[in-house]
A = this chain, B = another copy of it.
């Protein structure tokens, strides 16, 4: 995939992309801390997200740029963007208008729902050392 992008080369140099040229973007509600969704970005989507105040993804299924909310009205307004230690993920904190998920749920993880999981806990210090 060859995309002409204006992404700052210093930022582009920090991205560690997958085979499809994408990094993962975790979107978190800046007001509530809720994780709203996970999307994918190529360099140009990162550039648009950093420079326009609106979150833009690359849609893997539709193979097109997707500025969140253009169809649904459920826009995401950028509050901050951080990159992780190895450059394969971004954390985008947003002001979310309406539901983040296309299903109408507030988050995509509420839409998918919980999986049955064994709950773990760290050992309490002092216990088990009798």
In the complex, what residues of B have CB within 8 A of residue A82's CB? Answer: 109-110, 112-115
B95 adjacent to A112 (CB under 8 Å): no
A119 within 8 A of B: yes
Bound: A88/B88 CA distance, A: 16
Q: Which of B19, B89, B115 contacts A19 (CB 8 A)?
A: B19
A53 adjacent to B121 (CB under 8 Å): yes
Bound: A85/B100 CA distance, A: 11
A78 adjacent to B35 (CB under 8 Å): no
Bound: A33/B31 CA distance, A: 11
In the complex, what residues of B have CB within 8 A of residue A77's CB? Answer: 119-122
1/0 per residue, CB under 8 A from B, across A11-22: the answer is 100100011100
Q: Which of B50, B54, B61, B88 contacts A116 (CB 8 A)?
A: B50
B78 adjacent to A120 (CB under 8 Å): yes
A129 within 8 A of B: no
A5 within 8 A of B: no
Bound: A28/B29 CA distance, A: 13
A109 adjacent to B91 (CB under 8 Å): yes
Chain B, Cβ-Cβ closest to A14: B112
